[in-house]
Amino acid sequence: MIKLIASDIDGTLVPDGGYEVPAELHEVILKLRAKGIQFAAASGRQWASIESIFDPVKEKIFYLSDNGAYIGCHGRNLFLNPIERKTVMDMVDDVRGMEGLEVMLSGPDVVYLETKDRDFIDWLVNGYKFRVEMVDDLTKVQSEFIKISVYRKTDVETHTRHLREKYGDRLKITIAGDMWMDCMRPGTNKGEAVKLLQESLSITPEETMAFGDQLNDIEMLNQAYYSFAVGNARKEVKQAARFQTDTNLNQGVLKILKLLL
């Protein structure tokens, strides 16, 4: 019997940066919960963005946000994984000197930006529904940070190779789609977040189903026996998953969840 479902959002439930999921998904989540099946949204997004997507059921699901650096439910932080401050500031200094890249720092409840790119800011606020605070200097922000995000309009993986080599032993670094490189405290990932949730709820991997499409989903898929790659997933993700479903645009996740009912 399935007792826990964990799903990525961008590229899995919606297109990257998308906002709307079918209303039917909310209805299915409530029906699954009535059968004793928990649902966790696992994403690189901040929890407020996840909550806005799942607003009709926001009190009924878990948020595994910031790639597992934040675990919570309905605005309540249950567990945080902060990054050592010097590492954060070193990364900010390096990204500032690299053309075409933007850096965003995630606190527990707010993301901090010093960019002048209004289109980028508007996309985060109106597309991702992030809680954004604009600052003149990121190094002056007095907050703990749970994630560093490096953004590029395209091909971020190629243009951040130097950063991954330099910080690979100081951070957990993962590529999330074509535009984002996410950095967390070592040992932090969606899989560890799912594992913590499983242990808290006395649920085994054999009772867990997970869905993903990107490299930052692989640890989560490994933590679930019923691991699904959506049809548009990267080949590495399809190789890691036991099963495959339809693409995100064709509601691959929803199709499998409806089968459980």
Query: 138-197 pLDDT, tens per residue?
Result: 999 999 999 999 999 999 999 999 999 999 999 999 998 899 999 999 999 999 999 999
Give whole-number Cα distances, 96 to 115, 150, 238, in Å: 10, 10, 35
Average pLDDT over residues 63-78: 91
Could you tell me the two tokens for 23?
């209303």
At a CB cut-off of 8 Å and minimum separation 6, what does 119 contact?
none
Q: How far apart are CA 254 and CA 256, in angstroms?
A: 5
* DSSP string of 98-126, one letter each residue: STT-EEEEE-SS-EEE----HHHHHIIII
pLDDT of 200 reads 94
pLDDT tens, residue by residue, 84-138: 999 999 999 999 999 999 999 999 999 999 999 999 999 999 989 999 999 999 9
At a CB cut-off of 8 Å and minimum separation 6, what does 113 contact?
102, 104, 121, 124, 132, 133, 134, 135, 138
Q: Is the pLDDT of residue 19 over 90?
A: no
Degrees (nearest 5) of the Cα angle 60, 63, 69?
Answer: 160
pLDDT of 18 reads 82
Could you tell me the two tokens for 259?
């089968």
Residue ranges matching CATH 3.40.50.1000 in the chain: 4-80+188-259
| Mean per-residue pLDDT over the chain, rounded | 95
pLDDT tens, residue by residue, 36-70: 999 999 999 999 999 999 999 999 999 999 999 99
pLDDT tens, residue by residue, 211-237: 999 999 999 999 999 999 999 999 999
**Superfamily covering domain 4-80+188-259:** HAD superfamily/HAD-like (3.40.50.1000)
Could you tell me the two tokens for 81?
């994984």
Residue (of 106, 97, 103, 107) closest to 117 by Cα position: 103
pLDDT of 56 reads 95
For residue 16, what pLDDT band results from cuts at 50, 70 and 90? confident
3-state secondary structure of 49: helix
Inter-residue contact 188 to 173 (CB < 8 Å): no
Strands 76-80 and 70-73, bridge-based pairing:
antiparallel
For residue 71, what pLDDT band results from cuts at 50, 70 and 90? very high
Residue ranges matching CATH 3.30.1240.10 in the chain: 85-184
- Calculate the CA dihedral of residues 138, 142, 145, 151 and round it to 10 degrees: -10
pLDDT of 246 reads 98
Q: Is the pLDDT of residue 17 over 90?
A: no
Inter-residue contact 192 to 172 (CB < 8 Å): no
Strands 111-113 and 4-7, bridge-based pairing:
unpaired
Average pLDDT over residues 198-211: 97
Residue (of 197, 178, 131, 183) closest to 10 by Cα position: 178
CATH 3.60.15.10 fits 85-184, yes or no: no
